Amino acid sequence: MTRRQFLAGTGGAMLWGTSRAWAGANDRVRVAVIGIHGMGQNHIANYLQLPNVEVAALCDVDSNQFAPVIKKLFTDKGLKAPKTYTDMRRLYEDKTIDAVSVVTPNHWHTLAAIWAIQAGKHVSVEKPCCHNIFEGRKLVEAAKKYKVLVQDGAEQRSNPCSQSMAEFLKNGGLGEVYMAKDVDKWQTYMGEKREPGETGSGLGNHYENFIKAIRMPDPAVFNAGIEDGFYSCAVIHLGNIAYRLGRTLTFDPATLTFPGDAEANAMLTRNYRTPYVVPDKV
């Protein structure tokens, strides 16, 4: 099964929803960031650059992080110190928080996001959005049920460079690949003479896109909905399962299972430690 066949089988609709009405683009959006080590500080800094966005709360199990991070990113810049929490469940009880960024270790991404969704918060969840296929299914189900925005944290999806490259590949613009290099733009070199072909460049702002989508009830402005994030992760999880079992697998994209293969199906989920359990019914 190719990646394209898998995506076609599972569908590709963009999720969009909102739990509250927004009067206009001047409304303040109050954001909380969960996990404030390296990447979490990047989230904080980017939100603080956006107009009329307040990073109103921080959450981390390591309370020693609060003082230096708040000094560096808030008080030294004349900004109000945010509230702090060591338990995200207490944070989610705060009705004044509109949206959260989940920047925890990978195995926490899905549950942290689902709890936030159930509390009516819009969510931007760092990649990978799920630790296995079961988690991805539940994350998508929760986003649909509670009608909130859930953004996959693949920042490059908001970059014009990546968007133009994806469109170029989708339209069959690339033949046999001889070499690929990672660069801030993309450039093709065609044929044996390596003559310059199509090119693209440009960076976007994934955080700005998330806030804009909250303010504007238009799915067209929203990049990287959580279904797309789940499907991207699912392809990787399928490869990992096949590698771990050391054999070819048959996967049904309609049911998201391996028909008649109990050993492979057991790897679609994992054992959880109570009470930190991704629920079957979201």
| pLDDT tens, the chain, 282 aa long | 444 444 444 433 334 444 444 444 458 999 999 999 989 999 999 999 999 999 999 999 999 999 999 999 999 999 999 999 999 999 999 999 999 999 999 999 999 999 999 999 999 999 999 999 999 999 999 999 998 999 986 656 655 666 667 777 788 887 776 666 666 788 888 888 888 888 888 777 888 989 988 988 666 667 667 998 999 999 999 999 999 999 999 999 999 999 999 999 999 999 999 999 999 999
For residue 189, the model assigns a pLDDT of 83
For residue 62, the model assigns a pLDDT of 97
How many beta carbons lie within 10 A of that of residue 87, not counting itself? Answer: 10
**Contacts of residue 192, Cβ cutoff 8 Å, sequence gap at least 6:** none
What is the CATH number assigned to the segment(s) 3-156+204-268? 3.40.50.720
CA 214, distance to chain mean position in Å, is 15
What is the distance between the alpha carbons of residues 251 and 50, in angstroms, rounded to a whole number? 43
Q: What is the DSSP letter of 21?
A: -
For residue 252, the model assigns a pLDDT of 97
What is the distance between the alpha carbons of residues 104 and 59, in angstroms, rounded to a whole number? 10
For residue 13, the model assigns a pLDDT of 34
For residue 163, the model assigns a pLDDT of 62
What is the distance between the alpha carbons of residues 100 and 109, in angstroms, rounded to a whole number? 12
Domains of the chain, residue spans: 3-156+204-268, 160-201
